[in-house]
Chains A and B, each alone.
Chain A
Amino acid sequence: MGMAESILLTIATAATPLLIAAIGELVVERSGVLNLGVEGMMVMGAVCGFVAAALTGSPWLGVLCGILAGALFSLPFAFLTLNIATNQVATGLSLTLLGLGLSSMIGESFVGSPGVRLPNLFIPGLTELPLVGRLLFGQDPIFYLSILLVFAVTWFLFKTRTGLTLRSVGDNHASAHALGIPVIGYRYGAVLFGGACAGLAGAQLSLVYTPQWVENMTAGRGWIALALVVFASWRPLRVLAGAYLFGAVTIGQLHAQALGLGIPSQLLSSLPYLATIVVLVLISRNRRLTMINTPASLGRAFVPDR
Chain B
Amino acid sequence: MRLELVKRPQQSTLFAAISPLIALGLTLVAGAIVFAMLGENPFEALYYYFVDPLRELWSLHELAIKAAPLIIIAVGLSVCYLSNNWNIGAEGQFIMGGILGSMLPVLFPTFQGPLVLPLMLLMGLIGGAAYAAIPAILKTRFNTNEILTSLMLVYVAQFFLDWLVRGPWRNPEGNNFPETRRFHPDAVLPELFPADGRANLGIVFAIVAAILVWLLVSRTLKGFEVRVLGASPRAGRFAGFGTTKMVFFAFMLSGALAGLAGISEVSGAIGQLRPTISPGYGFAAIIVAFLGRLNPLGIIAAGFVLALTYLGGEAAQISIGVSDKVARVFQGMLLFFVLGCDTLIHYRIRLVRSALKSDAAAVAKAAEPASEGA
Contact = CB atoms under 8 A, between A and B. Distances in A.
Interface of A: 36, 76, 80, 83-87, 89-91, 93-95, 97-102, 104-105, 108, 219-220, 223, 226-227, 230, 264, 266-267, 269-270, 273-274, 276-277, 280-281, 284-285, 287, 290, 303-304
Given A91-B336, A266-B163, A98 B148 contact: no
Nearest to A79: B340
Interface of B: 3-5, 7, 81, 86, 88, 138, 141-145, 147-149, 151-153, 155-156, 159-160, 162-163, 166-167, 283, 286-287, 290, 323, 325-333, 335-336, 339-340, 342-343, 347, 349
B5 A105 contact: no
Contacts of B159: 266-267, 269-270
Contacts of B88: 93
Nearest to B88: A93
B325 A104 contact: yes
B347 A303 contact: yes
B145 A280 contact: yes
8 closest Cβ pairs, A-B complex: A98-B332, A101-B328, A94-B335, A266-B163, A266-B159, A105-B325, A285-B142, A270-B159
Contacts of B5: 84-85, 303
B339 A97 contact: no
Contact of B339 (A94, A223, A273): A94
Contact of B329 (A105, A230, A267, A304): A105
16 contacts: A84-B347, A87-B339, A90-B339, A93-B88, A94-B335, A97-B283, A97-B286, A98-B333, A102-B329, A102-B332, A104-B328, A219-B155, A280-B149, A284-B142, A284-B143, A304-B4
A91 B343 CA distance: 12
A90 B334 CA distance: 12
A284 B3 CA distance: 38
Given A85-B343, A94-B336, A94-B339, A284 B145 contact: yes
A83 B3 contact: yes
Most buried by A among B149, B327, B336: B336
Contacts of B287: 94, 97
Given A80-B340, A89-B86, A97-B287, 18 more contacts: A84-B340, A84-B349, A86-B343, A90-B286, A97-B328, A97-B335, A102-B329, A102-B332, A104-B325, A105-B328, A219-B155, A266-B162, A269-B159, A270-B159, A273-B155, A276-B152, A280-B138, A280-B144
Contact of A76 (B156, B336, B347, B349): B336
B336 A80 contact: yes
A92 to B, nearest CB: 9
Contacts of A108: 323, 325
Contacts of B326: 105
B347 A85 contact: yes
A290 to B, nearest CB: 7
Most buried by A among B5, B138, B152, B342: B152
Nearest to B84: A89
A141 B349 CA distance: 45
A273 B283 CA distance: 18
A230 B332 CA distance: 26
Contacts of B138: 277, 280-281
A230 B149 CA distance: 12
A282 to B, nearest CB: 8
A273 B144 CA distance: 15
Contacts of B86: 89
Contacts of A83: 3
B96 to A, nearest CB: 13
A285 B149 CA distance: 14
A224 B349 CA distance: 36
Nearest to B162: A266
Contacts of B81: 90
A220 B340 contact: no
Contact of B144 (A85, A90, A284, A303): A284
Contact of A223 (B141, B143, B152): B152
B332 A223 contact: no
Nearest to B161: A266
A303 B7 contact: yes
Contacts of A95: 336
A285 B335 contact: no
A84 B343 contact: yes
